[in-house]
Structure 1
Amino acid sequence: MPPTSNPTLRQRRLGTELRKLRERAGFTVTEAAAQLGVNQGRVSMIETGRSPLSADRVRAVASTYDCSDEALIDALAAMTGRRTRGWWEECRDHLPSALVDLAELEHHAVGLRVALAMHIPALLQTTDHARALFRAVVPPMRQYEIEHRLTHRMKRQGILHRTGPLPYSAIIHESALRMGFGGPDVRRGQLKHILDMSEARNVTVRVIPFDTEYYPSTGQSFDYVVGPVPQLDTVQLDTHHGGCGFLDAEAQLGKYRTVLDHMESCALDPTDSRDFIHRLVQNI
């Protein structure tokens, strides 16, 4: 396959995981190239996601690196080939690449856990609420930029409604539920939408009230994207400039898994969370 000049997040992640296997095997790039029968430049391109591989080639590389984790090897083999022509590719010309990569990442996920303190989770937002958020961005967006972002966000929500919908767990702090973006009518509609979505079998919503004594948090909203094997999980962080940051180091994944587990333990259970949101709706 010819080199890829602009690899997606998924292609870069495959390269990163192959680099991790090489490093665990104790091979330098030079030694790996000799073992694989390629030049050093090809190894570098593989590890940056710029050299697409076949599934058989990935298995051969994993064997060369003495990887015996069959579940991981199968998952890596499934990531091969050129970029998937999903709906998100239509957005690549008018949205930041990180947002396009996020949609692809969610599409291939096997589960999603999110935690937010100041905003409603993107996949649970109504169109009116999302539009109000985009209008509040600094510096202001042009109207066509808002519409592109809005279309992208609404299409991302399709993973919750597709055949075989994505298991989705959201932890929302009370502060996010009380924010008045768009005014009372928009807020009421947004909270009712969360209640409706929480009835879906694949969606779990938990609320952390203000009076919770213990609130473990990184101080940042984040999504924990569950991969086919734990090594392929990804943490997505919202950045202050409106982009996406992606973390995949083992220590980082472990940290955010622990934070989520602690946050779930101090949140209301799903039934009490629904009752809590219902009371908020009644008081608007």
Structure 2
Amino acid sequence: MVAAVPAPQRREPSKAFVTEFCVLLRTLRVDRGWTQKRLGEEVHLCHTVICRYESGDLIPNEKVVRDLDEALKADGSLTEAWDRLNDTPQARWVQRYFKFESRATAIRHCADFVPGVLQTREFAREVLRRGVEFYGGDLEEKVEYRMLRASLLLREGAPTFSAFVEEQALHVTFDDPDIMRGQLSHLLAMSEKPNIRIRVVPFDRKGMFVSVPCLTILTSPDGRDVVHLAGPLRDQYITKEQEVQEYIALCDHQRDQALTESESISLMRNLLEERYPCP
């Protein structure tokens, strides 16, 4: 009996460039006689991240690529391969996200964590610091980028921003209690802005969902909606009308489960006073 030959899988347009980058990285490492652990030590990353770079499961950012290039004495060949990898329609779309966000007239956000655009510098730095070992990159560059995005809500002609945040986002703990004290105070201050609405989904109102993904719906000046789903490894952008409407319905469900704005403010203020009273 002859086994059926599986149909060839469609390759993503950027897959060939991913393969080129991964093979080149592994070849350069092996040629130097280094293990993945040794290369990780050279660029201050754990060996599992190097493994994922070589398998294509994770793509490094520009700063990490430069570090890899220098450590492996690759004369810029890794950077050139990375440039080709990023010169694809998919990558250009991702890179345009900030531009799209900056032009949005309305933003709706559902998550179980404090939205990035509502984070204080201290909160953002501590959260991003925890991920640098895995994702790589420059911590302060990441913080500055997040602060740049946050400034969009305070400029003239800023978009309306509606956040439906699960209560667990208010219970993040740090060694320094001033970080969360400052974050809660900042949320209260931002909730007073006319274009910002913050509503909390309490623990007892999660409905049929265990947890809502980090979901953002951006509305452009022409009324078109784009859905952005943030994932631990890669983001996803959804533009198909039917799928967009499904995520809008999910966001509406989260909104219906949330406390009112005044109730949410009272909850945040009570939490601040009870857990983080001023010294």
TM-score normalised by structure 1 residue count: 0.61
For 1:171 and 1:182, the matched residues in 2 are separated by 27
In the alignment, is the contact (CA less than 8 A) between 1:216 and 1:263 conserved in 2?
Answer: no
1:93 shift after superposition:
5.8
**How far apart are 1:101 and its partner, in Å?**
2.5
The answer for the alignment partner of 1:134 in structure 2 is 128
Q: 1:143-163 deviations in whole A, cap 9, x for unaligned?
A: x61111111110111211111
Aligned to 2:169: 176
The answer for the alignment partner of 2:269 in structure 1 is: 278
Per-residue deviation at 1:138? 6.0
Matching residue's letter, 2:122: D
Report if the CA contact (8 A) 1:134-1:141 is conserved: no
In the alignment, what sits opposite 2:207? Answer: 214
- Structure 1 segments of 4+ aligned residues over 3 angstroms from their partners: 92-100, 138-142, 215-219
Question: How much does 1:249 deviate?
Answer: 0.9
| Deviation digits for residues 23-57 of structure 1 (CA, Å, limit 9, x no counterpart) | xxxxxxxxxxxxxxxxxxxxxxxxxxxxxxxxxxx
Question: Do the aligned residues in 1 keep the contact of 2:100 with 2:220 (CA within 8 Å)?
Answer: no
* Aligned pair partner of 2:157 in 161, 164, 180: 164
Identity of aligned residues (%): 28
Q: 1:263 to 1:208 in 2, by over 3 A?
A: same
> Using the alignment, how far apart are the partners of 1:204 and 1:131 within structure 2?
24
1:168-204 CA deviation, whole Å, 9 max, x = no partner? 0001101111011453210110011000000000000
- 5 Å-filtered alignment, 1:188-267, equals 188-212=181-205, 214=207, 216=209, 219-230=212-223, 232-241=224-233, 243-267=234-258
After TM superposition, the score normalised by the length of structure 2 is: 0.62
2:163 partner amino acid: A
Q: How does 1:60-209 map to 2 (within 5 A)?
A: 100-117=95-112, 119-137=113-131, 139-140=133-134, 145-181=138-174, 183-209=176-202
Retained in 2: the 8 A contact 1:235–1:248?
Answer: yes
Instruction: List alignment gaps of at least 5 residues for structure 1.
Output: 1-91
Q: 1:156 to 1:251 in 2, by over 3 A?
A: same
Output the CA distance in 1 between the equivalents of 2:208 and 2:122. Answer: 30
| Structure 1 CA distance for aligned equivalents of residues 198 and 243 of structure 2 | 24
CA shift digits 1:228-281 (9 cap, x unpaired):
344x3111111112x422111111110111111111111000000000001110
Amino acid at match of 1:265: D
Count of residue correspondences: 189
Name 2:74's counterpart in structure 1: none
SS at match of 2:200: strand
Shift of 1:211: 1.5
2:34 aligned residue: none
Unaligned runs of 5+ in 2: 1-60, 65-85
SS of alignment partner, residue 246 of structure 1: strand
Structure having the higher Rg = 2
**Partner Cα separation in structure 2 for residue 209 and residue 183 of structure 1:** 25
